[in-house]
Structure 1
Amino acid sequence: MKTSSAMEVAAFVIGTSGLISVAEVCLGVARAIDGVKAFKEETESLYAIYNFEQVRLTLWIAHVLGVTHSPIDIDTLQIEERHLPPVLTSASPINLHEPLRGALAEVARILKKLNHLLDKYGANDVSAARRMQFQTKVFKEGGKDEVRELLAQLKNWNDSLDRVVESRMRHHLVSNMHTRLLSAAQTDRELEAIQGAAQGTHPSLGHEAAFRRQLLSIENQSDGQPSGLMVPPGDISPSLPPPIKSGTLRAMGRYERLGERPIRVLQEWKHGQPNWGDLERTTATTRADRLASVLRLEHKPPKLRCLDLIAYTIADGPQNRLDFCFLYRPPPFADGVAPPLTLQTALATLSERRRPTLAQRFGIAATLAESLLAFHTANWLHKAVCSANVLFFADAHTEAPDFRRPFVAGFEFARPDTVRDLTIEGSASAAGFDAYCHPELVAALAGDGRGRRRYQRRFDIYGLGVVLLELGCWMTAAAILKSRQGMAGTRHDHLLETASVSLPLRVGTRYKQAVCACLGWEEDENGDEAGVETEESRRQRQRQRQRQIEEFANTVVAVLRDCHCTL
């Protein structure tokens, strides 16, 4: 099929019958091929390849045709008209665009043939005997090659469907496919299948799966496997954290190993608690080592916007306190001498002439949201999202802060999002950090009598919402709250009211909607439970987590990206 890049999606009116045929066969093949997940080696790779294309087609139908709810009855395979958008319920689709209808029909034909092959080779039956028979027949009778050929055809037709939408929509569909597949994969075997199947066809997805596998490997290390990244405090200068009264635990410094030239580094310090016992000290040290291993990883996803770690050290502080220092390499474009400018400082001190443009502010907002999405998709929590942890380095040539390339810092509190990893108390590194904390988190830290609560993804999202509000108003959260001093309501009420009233006039309604969504994000499933999960609760938590991550991608990340692109 040949399609023109000038075609507009709005010109398409898709017939109900065409959509039904595609949706029915998608469901049938998905149920049939699901059994292949029980097989090994190449059959597992076949499932992964199919899953890529099935997800792509599902997202295309949802975002381009507007069918965002599941309209299919699993038992009857019927689509109820009340679930379809008005344009799809016409009894006589006289405006149906024939090339696109032909593409959907061809996709349906391929999927039906795949379904037939899987039935033929016994993919619907996952008993041990049928698995053995399937593997024998599919490879010895040439079924593997036939399935691979059909999957290649399906990819080609999916590519054709993608080409009839604008580049911004294509980017959104690809990004959502990656998010859905990676957030659903929880084991190394699942990620390995994605990584292998993505080679050659979806290389960036393969890179992200490889990075997630490295994270899992680090998370699953035994406590007796140090990373080798810890260096003596004497190797760094300064070797002590800045005084608390300075308001920041971040400083430029030097790192010098014996016999090597010193290099400039950005130091980020974290204070432990004086009252830590042996268990807490050991746990904190082990977690710092694993976090250093994560931040040292090469080939991190570009959207993860964190600096590359060189090493870390642990120093003895006053009152038998442990102080941790993470050493980062400044980005290549920076001069390596000037300390980075934080967003919090920029908001408070930059003159109007030196401030980022509106387009740059939208770009910063989209980049920060994408970075948090990448972190959550990788199954980690940041735990310190605030404007003091958004950094801009001065360009070595212009000596001006590069607002096009923000970096996210403050990872010294980060940890995996699992029930076995509890938060270890420490001192927040940013002044006024409470303003970025969800009301429930503030209450828990203040001792509201409900006991210790687990940190949740929505607490990170709430902090992002406050940062986005600051960007939109170009005021610090502290200044916003000070301007409403004496008014009735909680701190959260004041921030939400400011977002609702001030943002539409300054940065538009859609930006305001993304901010308000962050400030009102729903509770995580089993977010406050500790201990060992049952298998069923684990699956339920994983399904809810995947849905929440996809919703964040659509209601926040995609909206902010559109705000940036439409200027």
Structure 2
Amino acid sequence: MDPGTALAVVSLTFQTFAGVVKAFELISEAGNMEYRLVEWARIVNVDRPDTQVIPGLNAGLAALLLTQLEGTLSSAEVLKQRYKLELIVAGPKTLDLERLQIQDTSENANTVVSKLISPQTRQDILGRSKKVKAASAFPKRMWWAAFDKQKFSLLVADCTSLVDSLYMLLDTANKSHASRIVSDALHDTLQSCEEIGDLEHLQAALQDEHNGIGLSTTLSASAGLKAAVLSLAERNSAERSSMPAELLDSTLITTTKKLTARISLGTHDVTPVVIEEKQVPHKMKGKLRSRVTELVSLLSSSENSTLATLPCVGYTEESLGYRLIFRLPPLAATAGQNTSVEPTTLLHMLSSTQTALPPVEHRLNLALHLSKTIFSFHSAGWLHKDIRSENIIFASPNQNQNQNLLNPLLCGFSFARRDQTGQISHELSEDPARDIYRHPDALGEVSEGYKRYMDCYGLGCLLIEIAEWAPLRKVVRKAVDVENAAGVRDDEFAALPRWLRKRYIEDEMAGFRLGKGFAELLALCMPVDCRDVCTLGQFLDALEVLSSYKLA
């Protein structure tokens, strides 16, 4: 059938939509796709009988896509021949949910995602469409035996592609709104999940490259980290050893170059590594050992995620504390030469007079990558506590500075800990040039217990550095001259959040530098009341806006 004829024989109605909802009951992996379909239907007004679709939508093409989706899912012959699937027990070629009811006994990667659509929602849709005998009748899912896992993955990809095509028919405003609704719902699911298995299933579901969610990789990383955190807590409560946190032999580790006061380059045996010093008072070493092993386990679990971090391979115990060891990827060698450009820090790049101001899109990408990583750790219930440009490194740099900015790595985890009350806190640095990144509540002889809004403030300072492409010490010189340490007063530190907010949010300097979306993210890090903390949902929305930009 040619496209013109096809468009003539289908129409976008509630019945068409309900037929696809019913067809989705035939596969267990429908959770995320089905939820996105229902949200799409709500936006275009086809989720209720006797309603008209929104103006401007290509209703004929939308109906054709829905019909193709229903046909793909509801024909046993198609599923058998194209995707090598077979009903667990025999059934007719066109499946009838009222006649065939097959119980599922296995878990799948989308179990937790499928909960986004409540049974009541399905009952209402199918009942009103008369596709089940009554609104109270709920069709049981059909289950298939997949003889070819790759073919089954193709089925999921094909269905997702059709749902993605429906979203492509939306105008820009509705498309952005729909994406944020889905991301928010998935984040709410992540926050409410307290079962390790559910979080692992959610992580697997969101890792699918065809899922069509703008921030899916970030949410997947968040789910993976939270699962790791819960796993650590479960092992500790059972008085068993935590996840493997390897104690390395100090004699095999050689330091070759210092990048910062606490971060060095080196080798473990012959493998390039980054070494982070974690100095603690001798009397505190025993109390902090469990935190070190937890941190190493957490950072090693993120190796295959999209987090902007290096994989941690273990730790060493020293007389003055601990060292965290991270595997460094091979350095980017110049073609045809034996030399290579060594890793560097963001602070070094900001301080250099030899580099030009990077394009806006590259600075936005840098801000987005780092903000996503901080969001993932916060979602998992961990605080970084030392967010600053000297703790951002570029491990495999090349001669093109702008390309380097696409692959930042967050380091400086020496102070990182769980976001819980009663946790041990380290003493302050008493170094004004470093303390300008710290929230005033985390300074002074008596500081408050470290909280998430303090981490957000540190991220805000980092974002301002990226916007101005200058070290923070130079940015704040008019408010706090940290280069003249003897003249710094406590009240100047206390006034700094207000000064930064007025200049970059109220006077719109952040928007002028990197646009409205960037300014909205910064405003969440530096609110009117500097002790306010944005919800993780608000943070996710701001990331969604920023990631919607067409960045390099």
Partner of 1:273: 281
Q: If each structure's helix is expressed as a fraction of its own residues, which one has the higher value?
A: 1
1:254 and 2:267 matched: yes
Q: Which residue of 1 aligns with 2:88?
A: none
Residue 425, structure 1, aligned to residue 426, structure 2: yes
TM-score, normalization by structure 2: 0.64
1:446 — aligned with what? Answer: 445
2:344 aligned residue: 341
What letter matches 2:346 in structure 1? L
Please state whether the residue corresponding to 2:436 is helix, strand or coil.
helix
Structure 2 residue 225 is the aligned partner of structure 1 residue 225: no
Identify unmatched segments of 5+ residues in structure 2: 5-11, 71-120, 145-151, 334-338, 482-490
Matched, 1:324 2:322: yes
User: Matches of 1:517 and 1:494 in 2, distance apart?
Assistant: 15
Amino acid at match of 2:478: S
Identity of aligned residues (%): 21
Structure 1 residue runs without a partner (length 5+): 5-14, 30-41, 79-87, 125-136, 257-261, 318-322, 528-546
Deviations 1:62-117 (A, max 9, x none): 9x77x9xxxx9xxxx99xxxxxxxxx9xx997766433774899899997228989
Tell whether the 8 Å contact from 1:247 to 1:431 is kept in structure 2 after alignment. no
Question: Which residue of 512, 519, 529 corresponds with 1:512?
Answer: 519
Moved more, 494-503 or 175-184: 175-184
How big is the shift at 1:403? 2.1
Question: For residues 224 and 100 of structure 1, do their structure 2 counterparts lie closer, same or farther at Cα, with a shift above 3 Å needed?
Answer: same
Tell me the CA shift for residue 334 of structure 1. Answer: 3.9
Deviations 1:248-270 (A, max 9, x none): 111112322xxxxx333221111
Residue 393 of structure 2 aligns to a residue whose secondary structure is strand
Equivalent AA in structure 1 for residue 497 of structure 2 = H
Does structure 1 conserve the Cα–Cα contact (< 8 Å) formed by 2:17 and 2:41?
Answer: no
Counterpart among 395, 398, 404 of residue 397 in structure 2: 395
Q: Deviations over 1:383-407 (max 9, x none)?
A: 2211121112353677998222111
| Alignment equivalent of 2:194, drawn from 163, 170, 186 | 186
1:435 Cα deviation (Å)? 1.8
Deviations 1:317-372 (A, max 9, x none): 2xxxxx2111122223446986532222222223343x433322121111111111
Q: 2: distance between equivalents of 1:479 and 1:22?
A: 58
- Show CA shifts across 1:197-238 (max 9, x none): 679796877964556434432343225516351123333224
| Correspondence 1:229-378 to 2 at 5 A | 229-238=246-255, 248-256=261-269, 262-274=270-282, 276=283, 280-297=284-301, 299-302=303-306, 304-317=307-320, 323-334=321-332, 340-353=343-356, 355-378=357-380
- Displacement of 1:247: 6.2
User: Does the aligned pair in 1 maintain the 2:272–2:330 contact within 8 Å?
Assistant: no
Partner SS state of residue 535, structure 2: helix
The answer on whether the counterparts of 1:56 and 1:177 sit within 8 Å (CA) in structure 2 is: no
The Cα of 1:416 is off from its aligned counterpart by 3.1
Tell me what 2:169 maps to.
164
Secondary structure at the counterpart of residue 309 of structure 2: coil
2:226·2:380 contact (CA, 8 Å) conserved in 1? yes
- Map 1:40-79 to 2 at 5 A: 51-53=31-33, 55-57=35-37, 60=40
* Secondary structure, counterpart of 1:296 in structure 2: helix
- Cα shift at 1:175: 5.7
Q: Give the AA of the match of 1:441.
A: A
C-alpha separation in 2, matches of 1:199 and 1:404: 21
Amino acid in structure 1 at the alignment position of 2:271? I
Pick the aligned partner of 1:548 from 522, 530, 535: 535
Q: Is the 8 A contact 1:341 1:391 kept in 2?
A: yes
CA distance in 2, matches of 1:402, 1:371: 17
* Count of aligned positions: 451
The SS at the match of 2:241 is coil
- Corresponding residue for residue 85 of structure 2: none
Secondary structure (helix, strand or coil) at the match of 1:314 reads: strand
Shift of 1:417: 3.2
Alignment RMSD (CA, Å): 5.3
Taking a change above 3 Å as real, the CA distance of residues 110 and 185 of structure 1, as seen in their structure-2 partners, is: same
Q: 2:466 aligns with which of 463, 471, 488?
A: 471
2:66 and 2:400 map into 1 onto residues whose CA distance is 56
Provide the residue aligned with 1:436 in structure 2: 437
What TM-score, normalized by structure 1, do the two folds share?
A: 0.63
Map of 1:558 onto structure 2: 544
Contact 1:272–1:426 (CA under 8 A) maintained in structure 2: no
| CA distance in structure 1 between the partners assigned to 2:464 and 2:34 by the alignment | 37
The AA in structure 1 aligned to 2:392 is V
User: Relative contact order (alpha carbons < 8 A, sep ≥ 6): 1 or 2 greater?
Assistant: 1
Superimposed CA distance per residue, residues 139-175 of structure 1 (whole angstroms, 9 cap, x where no aligned partner): xxx7667xx9xx9899676334223258995987776
- Contact map agreement 1:59 1:177 (CA 8 A) in 2: no
- Secondary structure of 1:221's aligned partner: helix
